[in-house]
Protein backbone atom coordinates (compact mmCIF):
# COMPACT_ATOMS: atom_id res chain seq x y z
CA UNK A 1 0.00 0.00 0.00
CA UNK A 2 2.86 2.34 0.86
CA UNK A 3 4.29 1.96 -2.64
CA UNK A 4 0.89 2.55 -4.25
CA UNK A 5 0.47 5.80 -2.34
CA UNK A 6 3.94 7.00 -3.33
CA UNK A 7 3.31 6.14 -6.98
CA UNK A 8 0.00 8.01 -6.92
CA UNK A 9 1.59 11.07 -5.29
CA UNK A 10 4.34 11.36 -7.90
CA UNK A 11 2.17 10.33 -10.85
CA UNK A 12 1.00 13.87 -11.71
CA UNK A 13 4.55 15.23 -11.34
CA UNK A 14 6.01 12.70 -13.79
CA UNK A 15 4.01 14.23 -16.63
CA UNK A 16 6.15 16.57 -18.74
CA UNK A 17 3.33 19.11 -18.77
CA UNK A 18 2.29 18.55 -15.15
CA UNK A 19 2.50 22.19 -14.13
CA UNK A 20 0.31 23.54 -16.91
CA UNK A 21 -2.23 20.73 -16.44
CA UNK A 22 -2.51 21.33 -12.69
CA UNK A 23 -2.69 25.09 -13.23
CA UNK A 24 -5.54 24.72 -15.73
CA UNK A 25 -7.56 22.45 -13.44
CA UNK A 26 -6.99 24.66 -10.41
CA UNK A 27 -7.63 27.90 -12.31
CA UNK A 28 -11.04 26.70 -13.50
CA UNK A 29 -11.85 25.90 -9.88
CA UNK A 30 -10.59 29.29 -8.75
CA UNK A 31 -12.75 31.11 -11.31
CA UNK A 32 -15.81 29.12 -10.27
CA UNK A 33 -15.00 29.79 -6.63
CA UNK A 34 -14.86 33.54 -7.26
CA UNK A 35 -18.14 33.36 -9.20
CA UNK A 36 -20.01 31.40 -6.54
CA UNK A 37 -18.70 33.51 -3.66
CA UNK A 38 -19.58 36.72 -5.53
CA UNK A 39 -23.09 35.51 -6.30
CA UNK A 40 -23.51 34.42 -2.69
CA UNK A 41 -22.41 37.86 -1.49
CA UNK A 42 -24.81 39.62 -3.85
CA UNK A 43 -27.68 37.49 -2.54
CA UNK A 44 -26.85 37.44 1.18
CA UNK A 45 -24.34 40.28 1.65
CA UNK A 46 -22.04 37.75 3.34
CA UNK A 47 -18.96 35.87 2.20
CA UNK A 48 -19.70 32.18 2.78
CA UNK A 49 -17.31 29.23 2.42
CA UNK A 50 -20.22 27.12 1.18
CA UNK A 51 -19.89 28.90 -2.15
CA UNK A 52 -16.30 27.69 -2.46
CA UNK A 53 -17.30 24.10 -1.67
CA UNK A 54 -20.11 24.17 -4.22
CA UNK A 55 -17.76 25.64 -6.83
CA UNK A 56 -15.33 22.72 -6.54
CA UNK A 57 -18.16 20.17 -6.60
CA UNK A 58 -19.45 21.63 -9.88
CA UNK A 59 -16.06 22.01 -11.56
CA UNK A 60 -17.21 19.66 -14.30
CA UNK A 61 -14.12 19.98 -16.57
CA UNK A 62 -11.85 19.07 -13.63
CA UNK A 63 -14.13 16.20 -12.61
CA UNK A 64 -14.09 14.91 -16.18
CA UNK A 65 -10.29 15.11 -16.15
CA UNK A 66 -10.25 13.09 -12.93
CA UNK A 67 -12.51 10.45 -14.51
CA UNK A 68 -10.00 10.05 -17.34
CA UNK A 69 -7.17 9.66 -14.81
CA UNK A 70 -9.22 7.01 -13.00
CA UNK A 71 -9.99 5.25 -16.26
CA UNK A 72 -6.33 5.33 -17.27
CA UNK A 73 -5.37 3.62 -14.01
CA UNK A 74 -7.94 0.87 -14.59
CA UNK A 75 -6.48 -0.06 -17.98
CA UNK A 76 -3.82 -2.66 -18.65
CA UNK A 77 -1.24 -1.32 -19.26
CA UNK A 78 -1.96 1.74 -17.16
CA UNK A 79 -1.65 5.24 -18.59
CA UNK A 80 1.78 6.69 -17.83
CA UNK A 81 0.74 10.35 -17.87
CA UNK A 82 -2.23 12.60 -17.22
CA UNK A 83 -4.74 13.22 -20.03
CA UNK A 84 -4.62 16.41 -22.06
CA UNK A 85 -6.92 19.40 -21.66
CA UNK A 86 -8.76 18.96 -24.94
CA UNK A 87 -12.37 18.29 -25.97
CA UNK A 88 -13.74 20.37 -23.13
CA UNK A 89 -17.32 19.47 -23.95
CA UNK A 90 -16.52 15.77 -23.45
CA UNK A 91 -14.73 16.57 -20.19
CA UNK A 92 -17.74 18.53 -18.96
CA UNK A 93 -20.09 15.64 -19.81
CA UNK A 94 -17.88 13.14 -17.98
CA UNK A 95 -17.66 15.53 -15.04
CA UNK A 96 -21.42 16.00 -15.00
CA UNK A 97 -21.88 12.23 -15.02
CA UNK A 98 -19.50 11.87 -12.06
CA UNK A 99 -21.37 14.62 -10.22
CA UNK A 100 -24.72 12.92 -10.82
CA UNK A 101 -23.39 9.53 -9.71
CA UNK A 102 -22.03 11.16 -6.58
CA UNK A 103 -25.39 12.80 -5.92
CA UNK A 104 -27.15 9.45 -6.38
CA UNK A 105 -25.01 8.11 -3.55
CA UNK A 106 -25.23 11.19 -1.36
CA UNK A 107 -28.78 12.51 -1.89
CA UNK A 108 -30.23 10.85 1.23
CA UNK A 109 -27.37 11.98 3.51
CA UNK A 110 -27.75 15.50 2.10
CA UNK A 111 -31.47 15.46 2.88
CA UNK A 112 -30.65 14.52 6.47
CA UNK A 113 -28.11 17.34 6.74
CA UNK A 114 -30.40 19.95 5.17
CA UNK A 115 -33.33 18.89 7.35
CA UNK A 116 -31.10 18.97 10.44
CA UNK A 117 -29.81 22.41 9.54
CA UNK A 118 -33.39 23.66 9.15
CA UNK A 119 -34.30 22.38 12.63
CA UNK A 120 -31.06 23.81 14.00
CA UNK A 121 -32.00 27.23 12.70
CA UNK A 122 -35.35 27.07 14.52
CA UNK A 123 -33.69 26.47 17.88
CA UNK A 124 -35.66 25.50 20.96
CA UNK A 125 -36.74 21.88 21.33
CA UNK A 126 -35.88 21.18 17.69
CA UNK A 127 -32.21 21.98 18.29
CA UNK A 128 -31.29 18.51 19.60
CA UNK A 129 -33.12 16.71 16.80
CA UNK A 130 -31.41 18.94 14.26
CA UNK A 131 -27.97 18.05 15.61
CA UNK A 132 -28.81 14.34 15.52
CA UNK A 133 -30.06 14.53 11.93
CA UNK A 134 -26.93 16.40 10.82
CA UNK A 135 -24.67 13.87 12.54
CA UNK A 136 -26.56 10.96 10.98
CA UNK A 137 -26.37 12.67 7.60
CA UNK A 138 -22.60 13.12 7.84
CA UNK A 139 -22.07 9.52 8.93
CA UNK A 140 -24.34 8.27 6.15
CA UNK A 141 -22.48 10.46 3.65
CA UNK A 142 -19.10 9.04 4.67
CA UNK A 143 -20.48 5.50 4.48
CA UNK A 144 -22.08 6.02 1.06
CA UNK A 145 -18.94 7.71 -0.26
CA UNK A 146 -16.97 4.58 0.63
CA UNK A 147 -18.77 2.67 -2.15
CA UNK A 148 -18.51 5.42 -4.78
CA UNK A 149 -14.99 4.81 -6.23
CA UNK A 150 -15.63 1.11 -6.79
CA UNK A 151 -19.09 1.91 -8.14
CA UNK A 152 -17.54 4.25 -10.71
CA UNK A 153 -15.00 1.56 -11.60
CA UNK A 154 -17.87 -0.87 -12.21
CA UNK A 155 -19.56 1.64 -14.48
CA UNK A 156 -16.40 2.35 -16.48
CA UNK A 157 -15.82 -1.38 -16.96
CA UNK A 158 -19.40 -2.39 -17.76
CA UNK A 159 -20.84 0.87 -19.14
CA UNK A 160 -24.10 0.26 -17.30
CA UNK A 161 -25.58 2.67 -14.76
CA UNK A 162 -27.06 -0.26 -12.87
CA UNK A 163 -23.53 -1.39 -12.07
CA UNK A 164 -22.98 1.77 -10.01
CA UNK A 165 -26.18 1.37 -8.03
CA UNK A 166 -25.81 -2.31 -7.17
CA UNK A 167 -24.40 -2.19 -3.62
CA UNK A 168 -24.01 -5.96 -3.23
CA UNK A 169 -21.98 -6.33 -6.42
CA UNK A 170 -19.89 -3.27 -5.53
CA UNK A 171 -19.25 -4.61 -2.02
CA UNK A 172 -18.16 -8.01 -3.35
CA UNK A 173 -15.48 -6.28 -5.40
CA UNK A 174 -14.42 -4.06 -2.50
CA UNK A 175 -13.99 -7.16 -0.31
CA UNK A 176 -11.25 -8.43 -2.64
CA UNK A 177 -9.08 -5.38 -1.87
CA UNK A 178 -10.71 -4.25 1.38
CA UNK A 179 -7.58 -3.34 3.37
CA UNK A 180 -6.01 -1.19 0.64
CA UNK A 181 -9.36 0.26 -0.41
CA UNK A 182 -10.29 1.31 3.13
CA UNK A 183 -6.82 2.79 3.71
CA UNK A 184 -7.07 4.75 0.46
CA UNK A 185 -10.51 6.07 1.44
CA UNK A 186 -9.32 7.25 4.84
CA UNK A 187 -6.25 8.87 3.28
CA UNK A 188 -8.43 10.64 0.71
CA UNK A 189 -10.79 12.01 3.35
CA UNK A 190 -7.89 13.10 5.55
CA UNK A 191 -6.05 14.83 2.71
CA UNK A 192 -9.15 16.70 1.53
CA UNK A 193 -9.90 17.82 5.09
CA UNK A 194 -6.31 19.05 5.31
CA UNK A 195 -6.73 20.93 2.04
CA UNK A 196 -9.94 22.44 3.41
CA UNK A 197 -8.11 23.66 6.52
CA UNK A 198 -5.50 25.29 4.29
CA UNK A 199 -8.36 26.89 2.39
CA UNK A 200 -9.49 28.66 5.57
CA UNK A 201 -6.27 30.69 5.65
CA UNK A 202 -7.28 34.25 4.70
CA UNK A 203 -6.64 35.17 1.06
CA UNK A 204 -3.67 32.85 0.44
CA UNK A 205 -5.61 29.73 1.42
CA UNK A 206 -8.51 30.63 -0.86
CA UNK A 207 -6.07 31.05 -3.76
CA UNK A 208 -4.15 27.81 -3.13
CA UNK A 209 -7.08 25.58 -2.22
CA UNK A 210 -8.46 24.93 -5.76
CA UNK A 211 -5.02 23.88 -7.05
CA UNK A 212 -4.27 21.67 -4.05
CA UNK A 213 -7.73 20.10 -4.24
CA UNK A 214 -7.36 19.35 -7.94
CA UNK A 215 -3.94 17.75 -7.38
CA UNK A 216 -5.33 15.60 -4.56
CA UNK A 217 -8.28 14.50 -6.71
CA UNK A 218 -5.87 13.41 -9.46
CA UNK A 219 -3.76 11.52 -6.91
CA UNK A 220 -6.86 9.90 -5.41
CA UNK A 221 -8.16 8.88 -8.84
CA UNK A 222 -4.84 7.25 -9.70
CA UNK A 223 -4.65 5.47 -6.33
CA UNK A 224 -8.22 4.15 -6.42
CA UNK A 225 -7.84 3.20 -10.09
CA UNK A 226 -4.85 0.99 -9.30
CA UNK A 227 -6.63 -0.64 -6.36
CA UNK A 228 -9.93 -1.17 -8.21
CA UNK A 229 -8.11 -2.68 -11.21
CA UNK A 230 -6.86 -5.47 -8.93
CA UNK A 231 -10.42 -6.27 -7.84
CA UNK A 232 -11.28 -7.12 -11.44
DSSP string, 87-120: -HHHHHHHHHHHHHHHHHHHHHHHHHHHHHHHHH
| Confidence category of residue 203, pLDDT binned at 50, 70, 90 | confident
Q: Provide the domain count of the chain.
A: 1
DSSP string, 5-70: HHHHHHTGGGSTTHHHHHHHHHHHHHHHHHHHHHHHHHHHSS--HHHHHHHHHT-HHHHHHHHHHH
- The span from the CA of 161 to the CA of 105, in Å, is 12
Q: What is the pLDDT of residues 180-198, one digit of tens each?
A: 999 999 999 999 889 888 8
Q: Around Cβ 12, how many Cβ atoms within 10 Å? A: 22
- The span from the CA of 76 to the CA of 79, in Å, is 8
Q: What is the pLDDT of residues 71-125, one digit of tens each?
A: 999 987 888 899 999 999 999 999 999 999 998 888 898 888 888 878 776 766 6
Host domain of residue 51: 2-231
Put simply, whether the predicted model's pTM sits higher than 0.85 gets the answer: yes
- 191 vs 200, residue with greater confidence: 191
- The span from the CA of 225 to the CA of 75, in Å, is 9
Amino acid sequence: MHNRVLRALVFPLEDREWLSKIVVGGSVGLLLEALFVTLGFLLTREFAIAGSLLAQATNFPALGFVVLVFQGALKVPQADSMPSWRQWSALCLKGLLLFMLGMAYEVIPLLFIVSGFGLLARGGVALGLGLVLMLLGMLAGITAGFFLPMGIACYLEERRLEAVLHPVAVWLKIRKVLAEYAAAYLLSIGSLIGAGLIGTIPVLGALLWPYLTFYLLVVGARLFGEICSVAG
